[in-house]
Structure 1
Amino acid sequence: MTSSPFVPGTSVRIDGAPGGQLAGLTFAAKDLFDVAGHPTGGSNPDWARQNPIPTRHAWAVQALLDAGCTLVGKTITDEVSLGILGENAFEGTPENPAAPGYVPGGSSSGSASAVAAGICDTALGTDTGGSVRVPASFCGLFGIRPTHGRLDLSGMLPQAPTSDTTGWFARDAATFARVSAVLLQEPIAPALPTRLVVATDAFGFADPATRDVLQPMLDRLKRIIPDWREDILAPPGLTTWSRAQRTLQPVEAWETFRPWVERDNPRFAFNVARGLVLGATMPEAERGRAALVRREARGRMAHLLPPGTVLALPTTPFPAPRTGLPLPELEAIRAAINVLCAFGGLAGHPQVSMPGAVCDGRPVGLSLLAARGADALLVATAVALANESETA
């Protein structure tokens, strides 16, 4: 079933500070962010009941309020962020306004749905293994996974701390830049990258139809960054990197939620429980191998992305799948999506997903990565590409 993007039975509105640089804008917050006086539920039936109500706002919520942005609600997520498609067995699946009948992407599903529907101007999400990038692609939005460790994550429910980030969405480039300047605490200057790398292995992994519809966006990107070349993102294979992230992330998730699980025996949907069991039973040898792959991935991406360089790839290998697919089909879909998202958690580089392509009537995003700390450069490039699209 599809539902409203907001957590059922909740009503949250907090006016932003008057006169701030985001005055007049509204935002929603994924139900992993603390809002003082309101439960943080994680879209799980037991988390809020078994954990205290927060007494202060999460850092990201407070930053937007201080900048004048008004909070209008808390949004549904995959249970405690353990999902990538946005389907929630307890609170429902938020509608994908850009592709009704198809998943919105997760775990920041409700936040993406609310922005895509025009209910709010921007929304907070989290991204550990793709949870902002995927819904941005599926719902036709701008979305960012910032440099890992750059933002203050206080008041944000963790999953896998070595991969967790706060991210956000917007429908248009101008709003995306305004919000990014506040949360990155850095002006979005009009400077552009000097070099572009096109990840041939990532484009090769995407479905042919997705590659075809992203090509015009890539061509426009080449016009604004004429110095470009093709290269391999992951010489050992994207699936090797993906396997490493799918080892490390569940292990950390189990370590995060283990005290709660062992104390309270909470309820989970089958697929969420299965993921936690996977993390709990991961062999130590597999963890060690994955840690070495992470080290390799970080070295490779640092080599590919010196200052002034951006790398382009499809955000997802295909547009949004239908809602309500059987579990065996969903497992294969999740695995394929992870192949194009794993390096976010492995290496921690910033990534922006940009809208502008439609495949079989559904959006699909083009992504840019840059050197660690070059988040503002990515946002500026996204704005430039959007302007190029308007004048092309």
Structure 2
Amino acid sequence: MSQDPFLPGPRLRLAGRAGGPLDGLRFAAKDLFDVAGHPTGGGNPDWARQNPVPTRHAWAVQALLDAGAMLVGKTVTDEVSLGILGENAFDGTPLNPAAPGHVPGGSSSGSASAVAQGMCETALGTDTGGSVRVPASFCGLYGIRPTHGRLDLAGMMPQAPSSDTTGWFARDAATFALASEVLLREAPAAAPPLKLVVATDAFGFAEPETAAALAPLLERLKRLVPDWREEIMAPQGLSAWGRAQRTLQPVEAWETFRPWVERDNPRFAFSVARGLVMAAATPEAERGWAALLRQEVRGRLRHLLPPGTILAMPTTPFPAPPTGLPLSALNPIRDAILCLCAHGGLAGHPQLSIPGATVAGRPVGLSLLAARGADALLVRTALDLEKA
């Protein structure tokens, strides 16, 4: 199917307010964000057909328009955002220009692809279980999952509200900082980080080639933040963190989509339908265990990330896998990715994926985490690291 990152049909274009701080910049919006007068499809043709056309822009879309950026289109997403690789059975797989023949990452696949191809300077995505961080890593972009609850999510199609966030992409740190200042309503931090924690278990979990590729970028970061130490991020095991998020997120997604499913019996790709069915059958005991582990994760990250501290880890355990793999090969890939992304939904700390490394020519990102609310510290660090 088509590798165009934008939805089929006439390209949507909306001019931003003249004279704003983003005047002259173009942006795209994942097809989970409302644009007044245009259907929100959510990657599924029945969602657009069975739900009303929005009459107002989503908060994030309006914020960028008010800042002067021009909306140049809505982008492909994994079906109802329930995916991490960027392949959609209805709309196809957007091109990963940094690794042709490989997935762009999802579910914000089209937004990442559009920025990576130079079709716009920034783009809105969403991140529940890794849907901005993973495509940022696979496509060689800056991509942020902000502090959970910081941004207004009005007009953004929900999936799992206790984990859902709005995020965005850019090719360079300066553009990323401009978009971040508008959406965070805060300038980059005035002072750099005081301390750095290196998550040894996360680097150990990544494939050796990925850890080795990220080593030079990590060394540059250590020169910026010379007070650094190594720590285990997940004492219970990264796989336990992944299992908890893999329990809580689908259960919430089922609760979100259940009224629509029961009312309209929509069409789904097999993998999406299977995930919703399995979520509906999740035992209460498993949900209870996952909720308790979420509390442990939050406590652990509060301990590791006091104000002024950042944590470094690989964004993904490997670069982008090939497109078109069979379902049997995709399950272990998804599970491994989630082991390095689960903390986002579980604890809600801000996380920024920074480009600058490749494995066999395919990008991999280095992620930085900070205390809840310290998003601007990550923006400052990205600017400093690009100059280092």
Normalised TM-score (structure 2): 0.99
Measure the CA separation in 2 of the matches of 1:185 and 1:15: 21
Is 1:384 equivalent to 2:347 in the alignment? no
Is 1:172 equivalent to 2:161 in the alignment? no
1:350 partner letter: P
Matched position secondary structure for 2:45: coil
Matched position secondary structure for 1:147: coil
Contact 2:189/2:379 (<8 A) preserved: no
Contact 1:238/1:339 (<8 A) preserved: yes
Equivalent residue for 1:291?
291
Q: Structure 1 vs Structure 2: percent identity of aligned residues? A: 77
Measure the CA separation in 1 of the matches of 2:383 and 2:318: 24
Shift of 1:279: 1.2
Equivalent residue for 1:277?
277
Q: 1:38 to 1:80 in 2, by over 3 A?
A: same
Measure the CA separation in 1 of the matches of 2:235 and 2:382: 27
Equivalent residue for 1:240?
240
Alignment of 1:1-392 (within 5 A): 1-388=1-388
Matched position secondary structure for 1:364: strand
Matched position secondary structure for 2:235: coil
Shift of 1:190: 4.3
Shift of 1:336: 0.3
Measure the CA separation in 2 of the matches of 1:180 and 1:76: 22
2:23 partner letter: A
Q: CA RMSD in A?
A: 0.6
Normalised TM-score (structure 1): 0.98
Contact 1:7/1:43 (<8 A) preserved: no
Contact 2:245/2:345 (<8 A) preserved: yes
Which of 181-190 and 73-82 deviates more?
181-190
Q: 1:299 to 1:189 in 2, by over 3 A?
A: closer
Deviation string, structure 1 residues 238-297 (Cα, Å, up to 9, x no partner)? 111110000000000000000000000000101111111111110000000000000000
Contact 2:22/2:178 (<8 A) preserved: yes
Contact 2:310/2:370 (<8 A) preserved: yes
1:186 partner letter: E
Contact 1:146/1:375 (<8 A) preserved: yes
Shift of 1:12: 0.7
Deviation string, structure 1 residues 58-88 (Cα, Å, up to 9, x no partner)? 0000000000000000000001100000000
Measure the CA separation in 1 of the matches of 2:239 and 2:387: 35
Shift of 1:215: 0.1
Deviation string, structure 1 residues 76-108 (Cα, Å, up to 9, x no partner)? 000110000000010010000111000000000
Matched position secondary structure for 2:198: strand
Deviation string, structure 1 residues 174-218 (Cα, Å, up to 9, x no partner)? 000000000000011342100000000000000000000000000
Shift of 1:11: 2.2
Measure the CA separation in 2 of the matches of 1:28 and 1:151: 18
Measure the CA separation in 1 of the matches of 2:183 and 2:286: 36
**Ranges of 4+ aligned residues in structure 1 off by more than 6 Å:** none
Contact 1:59/1:154 (<8 A) preserved: yes
Extract unaligned runs of 5+ from structure 1: none
Measure the CA separation in 2 of the matches of 1:100 and 1:352: 24
Measure the CA separation in 2 of the matches of 1:311 and 1:278: 34
1:47 partner letter: W
Matched position secondary structure for 2:83: coil
1:61 partner letter: V
Shift of 1:10: 4.2
Measure the CA separation in 1 of the matches of 2:13 and 2:278: 38
Shift of 1:2: 4.6
1:173 partner letter: A
Measure the CA separation in 1 of the matches of 2:89 and 2:193: 43
Which of 155-164 and 181-190 deviates more?
181-190
Deviation string, structure 1 residues 112-159 (Cα, Å, up to 9, x no partner)? 000000000000000000000000000000000000000000000000
